[in-house]
Structure 1
Amino acid sequence: MQNLSSKDRCQCWPLSVHYFLYFSLLGTILPYLALYLSSLSFSPVEIGQLMAVLMLTKVIAPNIWGVFSDRSGRPIHWVRLATFLAMLFAAGLVLFDRFWLILLTLLLFSFFWHASLPQFESYTFRKLAAEKHRYGQIRLWGSLGFIGAVLVLGWLFELYSIALFPVVMSVLLLFVWGSTFLVKDQKFVEQEHFSSENFLQIIRRPEVLALLVVSFLVQLSHGVYYSFFTIQMIDQGVSKTLTAWLWALGVVAEIAVFWWMASLFKQFSIRNLILIAIALTVLRWTITGQLDQYLGWILFAQLLHAASFGLFHASAIHLIDRYFTGAHHGKGQALFAASSHGLGGAVGMFIAGYAWQAGGAELSYAMTALFALFALLIAWRWVK
């Protein structure tokens, strides 16, 4: 494996710090936001709607920020601005406890929060240049941050109260914003004439369109897990602390994938890695929905997070980086985020609320396994 120059090494640690803090915030929101909303006596449908709003803005915000970033050539400037505004609006969770006010707070917070990461991903790939295979080793620090937040906060909320959630979230956002100043605000000058296709022509290519649809379906299939897994485990008699360790186990498996990603890319085609990841995703949701009363099976299902998120995300984002180059790079990353985590996440969480109220875990995860199966068929036929 080729070594990074000393100059590259000193530029990588600020990237890792930001990933660590950004995903620490994600490790706060995904496991515990629904639990906090449940403590406010919201119904499953209302929780599903609020979680959907949290993800829906990812359809629009990254694309707007992607245009601004590509035109200015300064992605970090736009990352800083988006993170500051997210921190500002998140304070609404400290102030409000009524449904519509929380909905507005999540709408405004998530718009700017979701706008930042695709531009940071674009910046990271540009800085890595020919060393793109090292992305996983930088990104894994985000997974470590997620684990740290899940475990520490699981202990904290069980010892004290889930009512601390809004304050913890605001403090973490302050650290995330501060970490953006560790990264150099570098201006990138793109040579647009090197690309023979415009942005819409790239999207219309069958393999690109198929990847976007597959990413949408895979992320949609995670909607029930992200919205109700903590509630599901507590309903089964699992403590908040052990539930936190279950979340952490999934991310530990994800870290292993990121660490070995460079070797996997050398040994297998990206297409085959995507097919394997989706097939294991179908298996994961089947086990989580049908065998949730058996801790051993849940432990195994959580290990499959290595495939359903880690392996799929790392493979898909490499294809996106390959498809969208030059002046289209930021917009391509934004489109991927919007179609997968944005639209897919929002639709998945919205459906999850109604499915959970109608049939609980068994019905909800059966539906998500079906969505993942559709993604597998599309990927097998069209993703190259």
Structure 2
Amino acid sequence: MTKTRFLAAYYFWYFAAIGVFEPYLTPFWQHLGFPPAQLGLLNAIYPGVAAFAPFVWTAYSDLTRRREAIFLFNTWLSAGIALVLPNLTSVVPVALAFFAFAAFRTPLIPLANSMAFRVLAGSPHRFAAIRLWGTIGYILTAVGAGMLVDRIGLWAGMHGIAVATMACGVVAWIGQGRDRASFPKVHLRDFLELLRDRRLALLLAAASLARLSFGPYTIFFTIHLEGLGLSRTFAGVAWALAASSELLVMVLWSRLRGLASARTWLTLALGAHALRWLLSVPARDPVALLLIQTTHAFTFGVFYLAAVEQVDALAPEGLRATAQGLFASVTFGLSGLLGNALSGFLYAPLGMAWLYAGAGCVAAVGTTLYWAGTRGAAPAKRALVGGS
């Protein structure tokens, strides 16, 4: 896609689907009778596949220069699989279908991000103005799905994932470009140079620890709220409030970005992870729970915008999709896999409070690593493929 309006629409519908399955897929599986250990394993599938699929697909797209075709193919195939998912009731078929869904869906945002930064050329700070439409889509469906699920049930609500993903397919089809020839050729040495960049390695390590700390929240936040006697509608509002705080950052990012260096913004965002989880340990009051959700402005909004901009700046021309795929695979994939799996196994014996405490410690380590490791590092500057 080569127009910002199509990219904005794609982000809207992509994250609208997440607004359904992130808060409600685990409760749906719990409703089917799956125990906590199986819930943890099922939730580990998506980030587990995301640990390699985004990197593989984006690297393949850069090598073949067929980014648009791969993007469209993966979008429609993931939509078809989403139609099947709500109708499976045994753990093995659910696991296999969810694996396939993740394999085709997880590369889509890294591919979209690389397209967006390419369209924006020398104005990467404008990325937030496009990406914010994804947050809007998430907010609308998180609130709407909560009320809808309370009325019609989880099974019917799960079909919203397929509807939103099909809308993504329509947008990608209408907005597809014809720019294959404009992508430079890449070689193995270019991939190796990208992987050897110390600045990128530090960013990936710190970001991975931050995302690892999200495990308890991602899997059990809605269930935790229900255990406190709060409704699914309240859960939807809580998820949407977090996304709203993220939206505010995206609206203001073009102004905020110039107030501090990328290193400062990332350090603040990483530190906010530790603060968020430690505040969550004693929280039981609905108002306190909602106030803590506003820290999502930093733990996702600032964190994500600063990180993907830095990843794009560090990537050689011709490997911009690969760099975004690597970031997604390591940060949201591998770390999400470990965080979700550990949370699933530890939730029953430890409880949510201890999981939050552990998450806060992990996030603090990531913050310290990034702050100490990047002192004196050269700022990100785009390289050229082949070093030319």
Q: TM-score range by the shorter chain?
A: over 0.9
What is the CA distance between 1:191 and its match in structure 2?
4.0
Tell me the equivalent position of 1:305. 296
Q: In the alignment, which of 187, 208, 216 is matched to residue 179 of structure 2? A: 187
- Matches for 1:1-384 after TM superposition, within 5 Å: 11-188=3-180, 189-191=182-184, 198-291=190-283, 293-383=284-374, 384=377
What is the CA distance between 1:50 and its match in structure 2?
0.4
What is the CA distance between 1:199 and its match in structure 2?
2.2
Give the stretch that moved more between structures: 105-114 or 156-165: 156-165
AA paired with 1:305?
Answer: H
What is the CA distance between 1:329 and its match in structure 2?
1.1
Q: Secondary structure at the match of 1:139?
A: helix
**Distance between the aligned counterparts of 1:80 and 1:192, measured in 2?**
22
**Distance between the aligned counterparts of 1:355 and 1:290, measured in 2?**
18
Q: Is the 8 A contact 2:17 2:162 kept in 1?
A: no
**Distance between the aligned counterparts of 2:370 and 2:341, measured in 1?**
24
Give the stretch that moved more between structures: 302-311 or 255-264: 255-264
What is the CA distance between 1:363 and its match in structure 2?
1.2
What is the CA distance between 1:359 and its match in structure 2?
1.2
Unmatched 5+ stretches in structure 2: 378-388
AA paired with 1:288?
Answer: S
**Distance between the aligned counterparts of 1:19 and 1:348, measured in 2?**
25
What is the CA distance between 1:248 and its match in structure 2?
0.5
CA offsets 1:316-373 (integer angstroms, 9 cap, x no match) = 1111001112122111110000001111111111111112111111111111111111
**Structure 1 or 2: larger helix share?**
1
Give the stretch that moved more between structures: 270-279 or 91-100: 91-100
Q: Is the 8 A contact 2:194 2:316 kept in 1?
A: no
AA paired with 1:354?
Answer: F
What is the CA distance between 1:84 and its match in structure 2?
1.3
What is the CA distance between 1:206 and its match in structure 2?
2.0
Q: Secondary structure at the match of 2:33?
A: coil
**Distance between the aligned counterparts of 1:343 and 1:20, measured in 2?**
25
Q: Secondary structure at the match of 2:183?
A: coil
- Cα root mean square deviation, aligned: 1.8
AA paired with 2:334?
Answer: L
AA paired with 2:174?
Answer: L
CA offsets 1:6-37 (integer angstroms, 9 cap, x no match) = xx9x9221111100000001111110111101
CA offsets 1:226-262 (integer angstroms, 9 cap, x no match) = 1111111111111111111111100000011111112
Q: Is the 8 A contact 1:206 1:382 kept in 2?
A: no
What is the CA distance between 1:89 and its match in structure 2?
2.2
Give the stretch that moved more between structures: 72-81 or 133-142: 72-81
Q: Secondary structure at the match of 1:290?
A: coil
Label 1:205 to 1:72 Cα distance change in 2 as closer, same or farther (>3 A). Answer: closer
TM-score by length of 2: 0.92
What is the CA distance between 1:192 and its match in structure 2?
5.5
Q: Is the 8 A contact 2:50 2:102 kept in 1?
A: yes
Q: Is the 8 A contact 1:122 1:333 kept in 2?
A: yes
Q: Secondary structure at the match of 1:177?
A: helix
Q: Is the 8 A contact 2:83 2:162 kept in 1?
A: yes
AA paired with 1:358?
Answer: P
Q: How many residues align?
A: 374
**Distance between the aligned counterparts of 2:33 and 2:183, measured in 1?**
51
**Distance between the aligned counterparts of 2:26 and 2:159, measured in 1?**
16
Q: Identity over the aligned pairs, expressed in percent?
A: 26
What is the CA distance between 1:125 and its match in structure 2?
0.6
What is the CA distance between 1:115 and its match in structure 2?
1.8
